[in-house]
Structure 1
Amino acid sequence: MSRFSLEGAIEWTNYWITQRSGVVIALFLVLTLVFAGGLGDIELDEGTEGFAEDVPAQQALEDVNQQFEPPFEDDQPTTQLIQRGDNVVTQEEMVRMLTLQQRLEDDPTVRVEDSSSFAETIALSIDPTAETPGEQADAIEAATRGEVRETVRTTIEEQPEVEGLLSDDVNAQDPSASATIVTVTHTERGDPGGDLDRIDHIVDSVGGDVIVFGQGVFENEFEAVIGDSLALVIPVVVVLILGFLIFAFRDPFDLLLGLVALAMTIVWTFGFTGLAGIPFSEMLIAVPPLLLAIGVDFGIHAVNRYREERTGDRSPGEAMSIATHQLLVAFFIVTGTTVIGFGANMVSDLPPIQEFGVVASVGVVFTFLIFGVFMPAAKVAMDRAREGRPIPAFGSSPLGSEDSILGRVLPAGAIVGRKAPMAILVVALLVTAGGGLSATNVDTTFDDEDFLPPDEEPGYLEYLPESVQPQEYTITATLNYLEENFASGDDDQVTIYVEGPLRHDYALESINRAGQDPPPSIVTEDGEAQSESIIDVIETQAENDPEFAALVERNDLNDNGVPDRNLEEIYDALLASESGDQASQYITDDRRSTQVMYSVEADADDEQVTEDINELADDYRLDATPTGEIVVFQEVSDLILDSAIESLILALVFTAVFLLVIYYVLEGHFALGIANLVPIVVSVALLAGSMPILGIPFNVLTGTILPISIGVGVAYSVHITHRFIDEYNVTADAYESLLTTLRGTGGALTASMLTTFGGAGSLMLALTPILGQFGVLMTISVVYSYLMAIVVLPPTLLVWARYFG
C-alpha cells in the first residue's frame, strides 16, 4: 500500500465519520443486531478433552477404550459414593450404606441399574442368599457384632482385591477404615450421573458423611465454573473500566458513548463466536477483559486526541478529522500487531488454543472498527447536537497537559534519555539477556487441576452479595481426598497400543522381547518389564488347561513359553476357553490390535515415563503407540511448549515485518520499525523471565502470553512513535517532539495502561488457576510494556533521530 492510497483511505473514512456520521451509526447498530442473534448459539466446552483431540496418544487411548472393554462392562455411567467416618466397616455403618444403596435402587428418577460396595461383600459372606441391598442390610443387622467383625477381618485377609474399596488406613487385625467407595451404575438414558439433586436428597435422608462423586458432578461443576468465573470477572471489569472512563472522560455523555461502544465490542465478538460455531471454553473467559481493556485504550486515545484539537475552537468535524487522520493510522498499526500477537496462537496443534487465537483476533478487529469508526462518528454527531443547547460542558481538557502532574512526570524518559541514550539502551540489552536466561527455567504443565475450581473458596467471596455467590464446588476437594486416602491405580500404569498382523509368527515374540531389560522408569520383575498382555492370559490358561498347554508347547520353538507359530490356532483356542473373556481385553476379533499395559515407578516424573515408554515402543516390530493419561498429558505439555515458542517466534517475525513495512510506507524509514520493537523485546524477555520467579508455568493459557504481550505491548510503543513522528516532521527537534508526545499521548497512554491493568487483573478473581495465572502475567506484561514505552523508547527514538532522522 502506498502512502497515497493510505491517505486516500483515511480521507474516505474521515468523510463518512465527519460528514455522514448518521449513516455510519445506523450501519453499526444494524450489524450489532445481526451479531446479537449469534449469542444464543454459543455452546459451552468444559474440561480438558478438547486439548487432546488431535494428540496421537489420545487417539490411541480412545481406540483402546473402544476396542478392549473389560468383560461384562459397557459404557454405562457411574457415580461414586465415598462414605467417611471414624470406622466405616462397623455393623452400623455398613447397614447405613446398604440402606442407601437400596433407596437409590428404589428411586426411579436416579435410574440405578446396579451398585456394589464392601458392605455388600460382607453381607454375602454372612448370607449368600441375600440378593438385594435391603436383604443384605438385614443380614448384617441380624448377625452379632463379633460375627460381623470376624467376617470383615477374614474378608480383608483372604480377598486382598477388596482393599481397593477401602482407604489406605485399613486395619485387618482390628477391623477399621476411615473411608470406603461405593460404585453406582446407571442406565444410559438421562444425566450421566443420574439425578444429582435427587441423589443428594437420598444421601441426606440416610445420614452419615457421604460424598457424591462422578461424571455428572464433573460435568455440572466444570460447566458452572465457567459461568461463575464470568459472573465474578465481568462485573469487576465493568466497575474498574467505568471508574477509569470517568477519570479519563469526565463527561457523562462521553462516558455513555464509551460504554455503548464496549458493549457492542462484546456483542460482536461473541455473536461471531456463536455464528461460527466456536464453543465457549474456559480459555475464552480471558477474552472479554482483554477486549474491553483494548477498547478503552482506543476510546481514551480517540477522545483525548479529539479534545486536544478542540482546544483551538475548531468545529467537531474539523477536530475529529485531524484527530482520526493520525489515530486511524496508529489504530491500524496497533490492530495489526495485536492481531498478529493473538493470531500467532493459531499455529498451535491444540484446538482450544487455535480457537482462542481466532476469537481474540476477530475481537480486536471489531474493536478497531467500533472505536476507530463508530465511536468518532457518534462523538461528532453528539457534540454537534450539544452545540447551541444549554448542556454543561463538563470536563473537556485532554489528559497530560503541561501543567498537570502527568505532564511533569511523563517526560522523564526523554529528559534522562537525552543525557545518556546509549547507556540506557545498554542497560536494556543486559536486562533482556537476564530475562531470557531466567526464562529457560520455565516449567510446562497440563493437568485437570488447571481447570478445576479451588479446594477452598477464596476469602474474598464471603464479601460478595449472596446473589452472585458461586455454587459450592466439591471436585478438587474430593479428588485430593481420594489421592490422599486411596491407593492410586491408573496413574502408575501406561499402555502401548499395538496395531498390525498379530497372526504373524513373530508378533508375540516381539511383544515379549520388547519387555526385556526395559528403561529405568518401567517396573521390572526378574529383569523383565512388569506388564499385562495377551501373553499373560496365554500363560494363565496353559497353567490350568493341560490340552491348551500342550498346544502352546508344540508351537513354542525356543521353549520360552511364548508361542511363535500357528498363532491363529492359539488365539482361537484361547478365546474359546474359560479365559476367552479376559483375552478379549487384550486382542481384537480381527487379530490386528492388542494392548500391553506396563507398570511404572510411582515416583517417576511424567516426562521420564513418557520418554521411556516411547523408547520401549520403538523395540516393537509392529506399529506401537504409547498411551494412557500420563503419556497424553505429557504430549499435550510438550505441544504447549512447542506452541509457545513457535507462536512467539512467529509473532516477533511478523510484527517486525509489519512494522518495518508500515513505517517505510508512512515515513520512508525502515529503522522506525526496529526502534518500535526495542521496548517490546525488552518487556517480553522480562515477562518470560518473571514466570519461573513467580512459580507460574506454561499451561494451555499462560502458554499464549508471550505472543499476546507482543501484540498488546506494541500499542504503547506505536502510539508514542506515531505521535512523535508527527511532531518531529513539524519541529525537526527530536527532544521537543518527545516532550510534546509524552505529555499528550503519554497521558492517554497512562489511562489506557490503568484500564488494561484493571481488566487483565480482574482475571485473578476467576475460579480456575489458569485464569488467575494468566491475569497475573497480563497485568505484569501491561506494566512492563508501559514502562518500556516511556523509559526505553524515548532514548531509542533519540538515537534514531541522531542517525536516521
Structure 2
Amino acid sequence: MNYQRYIDWADDRIVNDSRKVVLAFLVVTLVFGAGLGNVSTNAGTQQFTTGLPAEEAFERVNTEFSPAFSPDTGNTQLIQEGTNVLSKDSLLRMLRAQERLEEHRDLRVSSTSSAASIVASELDPEATTTESQRLAIEDATDSEIDAAVRRAAEDPQFTGLVSEDFNRKSASASATIGLVTHELPAGLSSGSGQGGSSPLTNIQRQAEFTVESTGQGSITVFGSGILAEEFSSVLFDSLILTVPAALLFILVFLSVAYRDLADMALGLAALFMAIIWTFGFMGLADIPFSQMLIAVPPLLLAVGIDFGIHAVNRYREEREDGADIEGSMRATTDQLLVAFGIVTGTTVIGFLSNLSSSLPPIQDFGYVAAVGIVFTFLIFGVFLPAAKVELDRLRERYPIPTFSQRPLGSEGSKLGGVLRGGVVIAQRAPVAFLLLVLVVSAGAGVYATGISTSFSQDDFLPPEDNPDWIESLPEPFAPSEYTVTETTNFLDEKFTAAQGSQVTVYVEGSMRSDGALEQVYRAGDDPPETFVREDGRADATSIVTVIQDRADRDAEFRALVARNDANDNGVPDDNLGEIYDYLLSSSSRGQALNYITEDYRSTRIVYSVEGDASDSEASADAREVADRFRYEATATGSTVVFQAVSDVIFESAIVSLAIALTGTALFLVFIYWLIEGRPSLGLVNVVPVVVTVTLLAGTMRYLDIPLNAITGTMLALTIGLGVDYSVHVVHRFADEHAEAELIPALDRTVRGTGGALLGSMLTTVFGIGVLALAVFPAIGQFGILTALSIVYAFLTSLLVLPPVLVVWSRATNVWSGLRPIRRRRTLAPDDD
C-alpha cells in the first residue's frame, strides 16, 4: 500500500489550501457547538448497576414487596440523635415533627411512623393518629414511658428504628429513625434514587425547612432526593474547582513550551475546539454527562497539548534549519501525520477496550473518549498546521509580535543535555539496565496483584470534612454545604456497625405448590459462616416467619397450619393457597405482602449477616443459599448489588487491559510493517508501555487506591496515553536513523522529540493533576493516577526506550535495509 500519496495529498491541502481548511473547521465547530445545549447530566451509583441480574432482582423486590418503593411513593427519614432519644422530651420532639409534616399539604404525606409512635401506642392502644399519640406521651409520666419502651422492645419494628446502643433496662438509646411516606404523581418516583434528578428533592428540602422551623434541631431530614442533589452538586463543584486550576497551569506551561503569544493562542484555540467538538457530539448523540466523563476533557487536553507542542516544535526545527514556511510545514506534517495517526490508533484502541465492560457508564466513557481523540487528531493534525501556515504568512506581511521561535531541546541547550540521559545508558550498559528494569517491573506487577476493588456510594460523595483551604475559597469556587456523607456515616455507625447488614434471596415460582414453604425453611439449615445463626439456623425473616408469628397469636390460624403441617415443624406443607388467603384477609396482610406477592408467584427471604463479614464473603454465601432452591432464586440486596458491580469493575479492568495491550501490539506491528517494513519495531514500541502499566498498578496498591468505577479504567488508559510518548520517539528515531548512525540518530531524537515530550508532560501532568482538587474522591484519585501514568510514560520513553532500540538494532542488524518514511527535506531559503 502506497500510503505516502495520501500523506502528500494532506500536505498539499494544509499548505496550499490553508485558508479553506481553517474555515471548514470553524464551520464544523459551529455545528458541534449547537449540540452543547443538549448535554444532560447523570450522576450517582444507580447508573452503574443497570442490567446486572442482582440489581434487576433488587428492583423487583422493591417493587413487589415494599410499598415504600412503589412507583407512586417516596420515603424520607427523620434521624434523631441525643443523650436519650427515648426520653419524654425527645419522643415529643419527634411526634411534633411528624405532625407538622403531615399538616403540610405540599409534602403529600400519606403516613408517618417512628419509635415514638410505637411507644405512644403502648401507652394508649386507641391512639392511632400522630396527634393522639403526642397527647398520650404528654399525659404519661417518665416511669410510664420507660415501661412502655420496655414493652415496645419486644416489637422487631421498634428495635429496627433505634440505634444499636439501645438499652432496654434503662429505656435509652442515642439515635432513632422516623419514617415519612409521600404520595407522588404517577411515574415521578421512578426517577428517585441515587443519582440524577430526583422528584423527591424539592419535597425533602421543604420537609427539612419545616422540621427546622419547629425548632426540632436534633432531627435531620434525609432521603434519596437529598442524596441525588448532593451527587449533582459534587459533580458541579468538582468542575468549578478543577477547570480554572487546569487552565491556569496549562497557560503557564504552554507559555514556556511555545514562548510565543500567537502560537500559544493557536494551541489554546485548538484545545477549545476539541472540547466543543466532543461535548457537542455528546449532545447530538444524546449521551448524558456523568462522573465518568469528567475525565474526558483532561484526557483530550493531555493528547491535544502533546500534539500541539510536537507540531509547533517540529515546524520550528525545520525553520531553524533554513526551510521556508511551506517547506517546513510539509516536512512537519509529512512526519507527524503518520506519528499522530499511530498515536490516535493506539489511544483509540485503549479507550475502546472499555466497551468490553458490561457497565453502561464505562462503555460511554470509552466511546466518547475515543471519538474525542479522533477529533483531536483532526484538529491538531490538520487545522493547527493550516492555521500556523496562515499565521506565519501574515507575519511576513504585517508586524505581528514574534517572540522565541527556537525549538525545545535544540542542540547545545542545557535541556538537550539533560534529556539525553537515556542515550548515555544505551551507549554504556543497555543490557544490564534493561535487566534491572525487568526485575523492577516484574516486582511491581506481582505487588499489584493485591489491588483492592471497591464500589459504593461513598465513591461519589465528598469527604465528611473538606480541607480548610477548600472551605475558605471565595465564590463561585466555594463548594456547596455537604451533609450527606456525615449523615450516612452516622447511620452506618449507629444502626449497622454492630448489627451487620442483610442479604435477600428473591425466589420465583408457584408458592402454592406443596412443599414450597419447606424449601424456604430448609434453605436456612446449616447456614454459611457469614450468616447470623439462631438456634443453629440462619436468622431470617420470610413468609414462613410471618406465618409462625400469626400462628402464635391466632388459635384458629394455628389450627389451620397444624392440619397442613405434614412433619410437624411449624411450616405448612399442603393447601398453601388457603394459608395465604387467611393471612391476606387478616391484620397480617401488610406484613405478609412484604414477603410474598398477591399472586403467590414469588417470595423473598431476608437473611442477617455478621457485622464483620466482608461484602464479597456475604455475597458469595448469599449465592450459595440461593442455589439451594429448586425454584429460580437470585441473591440480591444492596450488599450483593454493590459487590456485583465491584466484581464487574475488576473484570472490566483486566479484560480491557488485555484487549488494549493485545490490540495495541497488533496495531503497532501492522503499522510498522506498513510504513517501515519492520513489524518487530511495533513490539519495541510496546516495551515502555508495559513497564508503565506495571509501575502504575504497583503505585495504586502502594497508595491504597482501589479499582473503582472511575479508576478501573486507568490500566487500559495508561496504554493509550503511554503509547503516545513511545510512538513519537520510535517514529522519529526511524526517520533520523535513515540518514544517521545509531547513536547520533538516538541523540537527535531525544533532543528534538524529547524536548517536546517534556513540555507536553509538564503541561498535562499539572493540567490533569488538578483533578486531585476535586471534591469527588474517585475523580481526585483518577487525576493523581493519570498524572503519574504520564510521568512514567515520559520517563520510560526517554530512559528505557533508547536501550531497547540499541539492543533491538544490534539483534536484528537490519537498519541498512530499513525503508524510511521520507528523506529529510531541508531547503535553504534561497533554494528552489
TM over 0.5: yes
Residue in 2 that maps onto 1:60:
57
Residue in 2 that maps onto 1:561:
570
Residue in 2 that maps onto 1:766:
774
Residue in 2 that maps onto 1:50:
47
CA distance in 1, matches of 2:439, 2:165: 55
Residue in 2 that maps onto 1:26:
23
Residue in 2 that maps onto 1:84:
81
Q: Does 1:360 align with 2:366?
A: no
Q: Which amino acid aligns with 1:159?
A: A
CA distance in 1, matches of 2:244, 2:342: 30
Give the C-alpha shift of residue 396 in structure 1.
0.6
SS of the residue 2:78 aligns to: strand
Q: Does 1:641 align with 2:645?
A: no
Residue in 1 that maps onto 2:143:
150
Between 591-600 and 635-644, report the one with greater CA deviation.
Answer: 591-600
Q: Does 1:236 align with 2:245?
A: yes
Give the C-alpha shift of residue 758 in structure 1.
1.3
Residue segments in structure 1 that go unaligned for 5+ positions in a row:
none
Residue in 2 that maps onto 1:473:
482
* Residues 100-179 of structure 1 mapped to structure 2, 5 A cutoff: 100-122=97-119, 140=137, 143=139, 147-160=140-153, 161=155, 162-171=158-167, 176-179=172-175
Give the C-alpha shift of residue 691 in structure 1.
1.5
Match of 2:182 among 181, 186, 190: 186
Q: Which amino acid aligns with 2:265?
A: L
CA distance in 2, matches of 1:688, 1:188: 47
CA distance in 2, matches of 1:139, 1:543: 29
Residue pair 2:76, 2:181 contacting (<8 A) in 1 also: yes
Residue in 2 that maps onto 1:404:
413
Residue in 1 that maps onto 2:803:
795
Q: 1:320 to 1:73 in 2, by over 3 A?
A: closer
Residue pair 2:122, 2:152 contacting (<8 A) in 1 also: no
Q: 1:91 to 1:157 in 2, by over 3 A?
A: closer
Match of 2:616 among 607, 610, 616: 607
Match of 2:522 among 496, 499, 513: 513
Residue in 1 that maps onto 2:397:
388
Between 74-83 and 305-314, report the one with greater CA deviation.
Answer: 74-83
Q: Which amino acid aligns with 2:21?
A: V
CA distance in 2, matches of 1:71, 1:706: 41
Q: 1:621 to 1:170 in 2, by over 3 A?
A: closer
Residue in 2 that maps onto 1:15:
12
Q: 1:512 to 1:166 in 2, by over 3 A?
A: closer
Residue pair 1:186, 1:193 contacting (<8 A) in 2 also: no
SS of the residue 1:730 aligns to: coil
Give the C-alpha shift of residue 230 in structure 1.
0.8
Q: Which amino acid aligns with 1:54?
A: G
Q: 1:149 to 1:188 in 2, by over 3 A?
A: same
CA distance in 2, matches of 1:558, 1:576: 26
Residue pair 1:521, 1:601 contacting (<8 A) in 2 also: yes
Match of 2:32 among 27, 32, 35: 35
SS of the residue 2:73 aligns to: coil
Give the C-alpha shift of residue 16 in structure 1.
1.3
CA distance in 2, matches of 1:524, 1:113: 37
Give the C-alpha shift of residue 409 in structure 1.
0.6
Residue in 2 that maps onto 1:257:
266
Q: Does 1:421 align with 2:469?
A: no
Q: Which amino acid aligns with 1:766?
A: A
Matched residues, percent identical? 52
- Deviation readout 1:465-498 (Å, 9 max, x if unpaired): 2221111101101111122223569952111111
Residue pair 1:70, 1:582 contacting (<8 A) in 2 also: no
Residue pair 1:110, 1:194 contacting (<8 A) in 2 also: no
Residue segments in structure 2 that go unaligned for 5+ positions in a row:
189-198, 816-832
Q: Does 1:620 align with 2:616?
A: no
Residue in 2 that maps onto 1:245:
254
Give the C-alpha shift of residue 264 in structure 1.
0.8
The RMSD of aligned alpha carbons is 2.4
CA distance in 2, matches of 1:497, 1:432: 46
Give the C-alpha shift of residue 75 in structure 1.
4.7
Residue pair 1:125, 1:151 contacting (<8 A) in 2 also: no
Give the C-alpha shift of residue 237 in structure 1.
1.1
Q: Does 1:524 align with 2:517?
A: no
Residue in 2 that maps onto 1:775:
783
Q: Which amino acid aligns with 2:103?
A: D
Residue pair 1:438, 1:690 contacting (<8 A) in 2 also: no
- Deviation readout 1:528-584 (Å, 9 max, x if unpaired): 222222222333344444554444444443343333344444444444444344333
Match of 1:704 among 713, 724, 733: 713
* Residues 371-770 of structure 1 mapped to structure 2, 5 A cutoff: 371-487=380-496, 492-731=501-740, 733-770=741-778
CA distance in 1, matches of 2:358, 2:147: 54
Q: 1:206 to 1:259 in 2, by over 3 A?
A: same
Residue pair 2:39, 2:288 contacting (<8 A) in 1 also: yes
CA distance in 1, matches of 2:121, 2:601: 41
Between 170-179 and 396-405, report the one with greater CA deviation.
Answer: 170-179
Between 602-611 and 347-356, report the one with greater CA deviation.
Answer: 602-611
CA distance in 1, matches of 2:581, 2:120: 39
Between 45-54 and 169-178, report the one with greater CA deviation.
Answer: 169-178
Match of 1:291 among 275, 296, 300: 300
Q: 1:588 to 1:112 in 2, by over 3 A?
A: closer
Give the C-alpha shift of residue 701 in structure 1.
1.2
- Deviation readout 1:120-169 (Å, 9 max, x if unpaired): 4555666677776566556655x4xxx44223311221101434434444
Q: 1:675 to 1:224 in 2, by over 3 A?
A: same
CA distance in 2, matches of 1:258, 1:224: 32
Q: 1:714 to 1:487 in 2, by over 3 A?
A: closer
CA distance in 2, matches of 1:681, 1:517: 48
Q: 1:593 to 1:163 in 2, by over 3 A?
A: closer
Q: Does 1:225 align with 2:234?
A: yes
- Deviation readout 1:69-97 (Å, 9 max, x if unpaired): 35998752222232334444444444444
SS of the residue 2:79 aligns to: strand
Residue pair 1:446, 1:699 contacting (<8 A) in 2 also: yes
- Deviation readout 1:736-788 (Å, 9 max, x if unpaired): 00000101110000011112211221111111221111112111111111111
- Deviation readout 1:189-247 (Å, 9 max, x if unpaired): 48414445544443443333332211221111111111111111111111111111101
Q: 1:175 to 1:148 in 2, by over 3 A?
A: farther
CA distance in 2, matches of 1:423, 1:87: 70
Residue pair 1:712, 1:782 contacting (<8 A) in 2 also: yes
Give the C-alpha shift of residue 422 in structure 1.
1.0
Residue pair 2:78, 2:220 contacting (<8 A) in 1 also: yes
Count the aligned residue pairs: 797
CA distance in 2, matches of 1:210, 1:584: 31
Q: 1:90 to 1:554 in 2, by over 3 A?
A: closer
Q: Which amino acid aligns with 2:308?
A: G
Residue pair 2:100, 2:211 contacting (<8 A) in 1 also: no
Q: 1:567 to 1:485 in 2, by over 3 A?
A: closer
Q: Which amino acid aligns with 1:7?
A: Q
Q: 1:16 to 1:429 in 2, by over 3 A?
A: same
